[in-house]
Chain A
Amino acid sequence: MPLDEGFIGREYPPSSPYEVAREKIREFADAVKDDSPLYRDAESAKSAGYQDVIAPPTFAMRLAMTAQDVVVGDEQLGLDYSRVVHGHQAFRHHRPIRAGDVLVTVVHVDDIKARAGNDFLTVRAEIGTVEGEPVCTATSTLVARGTAEEGEQA
């Protein structure tokens, strides 16, 4: 069965606050094989005009994924996670994430459609500080393969 398009426009409650630690940024930068000193050395980051070390741009996915898991796991929506692949990802950075930020994420369902037997779910995670400063907008399209077909599944 296709997903219920009535979920389009739904907003989920904010995530619990996530405090960005220097060592988490360093671990992430190592994991994506990026040796920029701005991710590791506060002095380098300061000379580039930042208050502290900044995070690689895709670090925002850590926040977005935790928030979108709430949508993916929403039993009323009924997405079959075992069939889900990541179809598309985009980020708009309002400013870099930096060590010391305390971030909350609010996730919105932007679109649901069925095409060629697959369900497409587009969710937008608005990541900002607890003080309300916007930091990053992360938009993900998840594709559930074969779940929009009527009748028996192979």
Chain B
Amino acid sequence: MTPTLSQVSKGDQLPELSISVTRGDLVRYAGASGDFNPIHYSGAFAQEVGLPDVIAHGMLTMALATRLVTDWLGDPGRIIEHGVRFTRPVVVPDDENGARVELSGKVVSVDEEDGTAKLNLTAKCAGQGVLGGAYALVRLS
């Protein structure tokens, strides 16, 4: 159920999400998104262009951060606007555990006239932020 205006206040925390991303997940995302940049599957290629190893698609990390919001909203159609800066790559080791992305978010303002709320989002991997200025503007019910 989508939260109603009266249920949401500035400072509310969204339920956190912790999602693992493996090399296999990157291959699946490459196919589904059409983004076949080899930095997302070839360690040798990634290192040649100066990266530590294979990295996750920035858009996959953004999708996970978006899911944090849409899970809370119940209805993905209520997301009006969202944006992120890609500040640090998510390096994905070649093992069964992959990388773990920890997502959290909180309500920073509620506009009662518009029936909207602004959320700030955080995505971390190995304790370090991987997205900057991540936000979403959503319509409450």
Inter-chain contacts of A95 with B (CB < 8 A): 77
Q: How far is the CB of B45 from chain A (nearest CB, A)?
A: 10
Q: Which residues of A contact B59 (CB under 8 A)?
A: 58, 61, 86, 89
A66 CA to B36 CA, complexed, in Å? 12
Within 8 A of B (CB), among A68-84: 82
The answer to whether A56 touches B58, judged by C-beta atoms less than 8 angstroms apart, is no
Q: Is A125 an interface residue (CB 8 A)?
A: no
**List of B residues within 8 angstroms of A88 by Cβ:** 83-86
A82 interface neighbour in B35, B49, B71, Cβ under 8 Å: B49
Contact B77 A50 (CB under 8 A): yes
Chain A residues positioned under 8 Å from B77 (CB to CB):
38, 48-50, 54, 93, 95-96
Interface membership of A87, Cβ < 8 A: yes
Q: Is the interface of A mostly helix, strand, loop or mixed?
A: mixed
Find out whether the CB atom of A66 lies under 8 angstroms from the CB atom of B63.
Answer: no
A32 to B81, CA, bound (A): 19
Interface size on A, residues (CB 8 A): 35
> Are the C-beta atoms of B66 and A86 separated by less than 8 Å?
no
The number of chain B residues with a CB under 8 A from chain A is 31
- Chain B binding surface SS class: helix
Q: Which of A34, A62, A93 contacts B81 (CB 8 A)?
A: A93
Cross-chain contact B86 with A27 (CB below 8 angstroms):
no
- For the complex formed, measure the closest distance between the CB of B70 and the CB atoms of chain A, giving whole angstroms: 7
A93 & B80 in contact (Cβ 8 Å cutoff): yes
A148 close to B (CB within 8 Å): no
- Having A27-B31, A36-B70, A57-B66, one finds 6 other A-B pairs with CB under 8 Å, namely A38-B76, A58-B63, A89-B86, A91-B82, A91-B83, A96-B76
21 contacts between A and B (CB under 8 A): A27-B31, A31-B25, A31-B60, A32-B29, A32-B60, A33-B67, A34-B70, A36-B71, A39-B76, A54-B77, A56-B63, A56-B70, A58-B63, A58-B66, A86-B59, A87-B85, A88-B84, A89-B59, A91-B81, A93-B79, A95-B77
Which residues of A pack against B, CB within 8 Å?
24, 27-28, 30-34, 36, 38-39, 48-50, 54, 56-58, 61-62, 65-66, 82, 85-93, 95-96, 139
